[in-house]
């Protein structure tokens, strides 16, 4: 078959048509991007499966499941349910998740009473996740404790159909990704990649002057 006279022009016309149709549907609706964030954070834990994001029948709500493996300890299961059972409202479009045990039963989130408990729960939930390093407590002033979850200083790359980005992806520090997905600040816990070298020799939970 002979080449079309102006292949460049044809490709260009196709691309433009394609861009126009993506635009018409709305680029990367925020609930899809949010789901991508969950996927990127959770696929680095082999004990978790993230389902497709699917509309609930007769509702303006997208829902997905996070299924936890059978041999996960109870505190990991409860921790995951506490941080990852979410319901967001994107301007009328609801987005929600459920954490299920290996038999498909929804796990109940826990009422967390303080930052210390949240930090321990986050540590349990993140056990086995590639990006997780450990938890730590720091006391910059007497009687003030900061609760931390420390992540590896790595970049998580999230693919999205963001045409404003040349490569169509977002690159986030693992700590930033998990701060968002786990809503850590809401629970009084901070995410960081700091090494806390000075605390390394101290047992966890012991106050330290370093942040």
Ligand X SMILES: *[C@@H]1O[C@H](CO)[C@@H](O)[C@H](O)[C@H]1NC(C)=O
Under the binding rule (CB under 6 A), the answer on residue 86 touching ligand X is: no
For residue 35, state whether it binds ligand X (rule: CB under 6 A): no
Tell me which residue has tokens 């970049």. Answer: 155
49 contacts ligand X (rule: CB under 6 A): yes
Query: Please, what is the minimum distance in Å from the beta carbon of residue 102 to ligand X?
Result: 6
Among 33, 69, 86, 110, binds ligand X (CB under 6 A): 69
Residue from 27, 28, 33, 51 touching ligand X (CB under 6 A): that is 51
Binding mask 168-197 for ligand X (x = CB under 6 A): ------------------------------
Considering only residues 27, 33, 39, 65, which one is a binding residue for ligand X as defined by CB under 6 A? 65
Least distance (Å) between residue 114 CB and ligand X: 30
What is Dmax (Cα atoms) for the chain?
Answer: 80
> Which strands sit side by side in the sheet containing 189-192, from one edge to the other?
132-141, 144-151, 189-192
* E runs forming strands in the chain: 48-50, 54-55, 61-68, 87-90, 93-100, 132-141, 144-151, 155-159, 169-173, 189-192
The candidate with the shortest Cα–Cα distance to 145, out of 199, 109, 76, is: 199
Question: Is 80 an interacting residue with respect to ligand X (CB under 6 A)?
Answer: no
142 and 209 Cβ atoms separated by less than 8 Å = no
Q: Closer to ligand X by CB, 12 or 54: give it.
A: 54
Q: Toward ligand X, which CB reaches closer, 104 or 203?
A: 104
Which residue's CB is nearer to ligand X, number 69 or number 158? 69
* Contact (Cβ atoms closer than 8 angstroms) between residue 175 and residue 151: yes
Task: Please report whether residue 67 would count as binding ligand X according to CB under 6 A.
Answer: yes
**How many helices, marked H, and strands, marked E, lie in the chain?**
5, 10
Selection from 91, 100, 118 nearest residue 30 by Cα: 91
Binding positions for ligand X, rule: CB under 6 A = 47, 49, 51-52, 54, 63-65, 67, 69, 100, 104
């Amino acid at each position: 078959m002979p080449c079309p006279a102006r292949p460049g022009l044809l490709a260009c016309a196709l691309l433009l048509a394609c861009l126009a149709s993506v635009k018409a549907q709305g680029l990367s609706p925020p609930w899809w991007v949010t789901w991508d964030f969950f996927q990127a954070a959770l696929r680095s834990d082999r004990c978790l499966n993230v389902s497709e994001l699917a509309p609930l029948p007769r509702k303006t709500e997208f829902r997905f499941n996070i299924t936890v493996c059978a041999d996960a300890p109870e505190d990991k299961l409860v921790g995951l349910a506490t941080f990852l059972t979410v319901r967001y409202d994107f301007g009328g479009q609801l987005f929600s998740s459920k954490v299920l045990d290996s038999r498909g039963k929804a796990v109940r989130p826990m009422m967390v009473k303080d930052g210390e408990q949240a930090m321990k729960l986050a540590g349990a939930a993140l056990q086995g996740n590639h990006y997780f390093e450990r938890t730590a407590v720091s006391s910059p002033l007497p009687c003030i404790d900061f609760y931390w979850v420390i992540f590896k200083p790595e970049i998580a790359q999230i693919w999205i159909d963001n045409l404003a980005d040349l490569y169509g992806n977002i690159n986030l520090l693992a700590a930033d990704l998990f701060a968002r997905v786990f809503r850590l600040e809401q629970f009084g816990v901070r995410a960081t990649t700091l090494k806390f070298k000075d605390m390394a020799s101290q047992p966890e939970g012991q106050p330290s002057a370093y942040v």
